[in-house]
């Protein structure tokens, strides 16, 4: 593995500072000055590495998505070919549903409403999420009987369940039981696979 350049390290430092500012104060309050203070750099340094706050958002979404997917891939690898639960369990764990991650991505979704590039970055995140689910389910006996469109539909349904539960959890954590949601999702996957001709 190659060593990161100083520029890459500085960009990462700025994106992590941006993440923390957004998680704590929201995008609207994450000014260049606040991000720079959090990163321990001058505001001019931010402008040197990023043209705009939108560019930081785009790259930060990719950067933090990479970290989440590393955790997801790790859980899936640990799960092995026969264990559906461990890989899918990560989707409903604190590794993906927590105050900071959820709040950060909600803020980015709002920014995506009026910025096509951020919207495409978010769309890419969802495409990766669906592909990762299909890749994991490919290891489960019987999944190979599904056609590609059924596999894609099941992955989209799992993502929709995750996103809906995540929003509800964020708004009202006491009203959502993540463990029971996992059980229900597992049952749905089994039902879907059993009832596909």
- Tell me: the pLDDT tens digits for 142-172? 888 889 999 999 999 999 999 999 999 999 9
What confidence score (pLDDT) does residue 64 get?
85
CATH code 1.10.10.60 region(s) in the chain: 1-50
- For domain 53-194, which architecture applies? Orthogonal Bundle (1.10)
Burial class (CB in 10 A: 0-12, 13-18, 19+), 154: buried
Q: Which residues of the chain are modeled with pLDDT < 70? A: 1-3, 75-85, 197
| pLDDT tens digits along 67-84 | 877 877 776 666 554 556
Superfamily the domain 1-50 falls into: Homeodomain-like (1.10.10.60)
On the CB side of 7, CA atoms within 13 Å amount to: 4
CATH code 1.10.357.10 region(s) in the chain: 53-194
What confidence score (pLDDT) does residue 175 get?
92
């Amino acid at each position: 593995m190659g060593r990161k350049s100083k520029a890459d390290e500085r960009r990462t430092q700025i994106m992590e500072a941006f993440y923390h500012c957004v998680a704590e104060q929201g995008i609207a309050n994450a000014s260049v000055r606040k991000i720079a203070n959090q990163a321990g750099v001058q505001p001019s340094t931010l402008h040197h590495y990023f043209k705009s706050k939108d560019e930081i958002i785009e790259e930060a979404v990719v950067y933090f998505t990479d970290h989440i997917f590393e955790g997801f891939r790790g859980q899936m690898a640990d799960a092995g070919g026969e264990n559906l639960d461990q890989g899918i369990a990560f989707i409903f764990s604190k590794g993906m549903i927590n105050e900071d991650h959820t709040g950060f991505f909600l803020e980015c979704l709002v920014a995506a409403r009026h910025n096509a590039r951020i919207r495409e970055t978010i769309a890419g995140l969802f495409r990766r999420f669906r592909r990762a689910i299909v890749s994991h389910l490919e290891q489960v006996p019987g999944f190979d009987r599904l056609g590609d469109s059924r596999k894609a539909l099941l992955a989209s349904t799992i993502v929709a369940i995750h996103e809906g539960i995540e929003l509800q959890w964020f708004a009202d954590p006491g009203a959502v039981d993540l463990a029971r949601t996992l059980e229900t999702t597992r049952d749905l996957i089994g039902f879907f696979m059993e009832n596909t001709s």
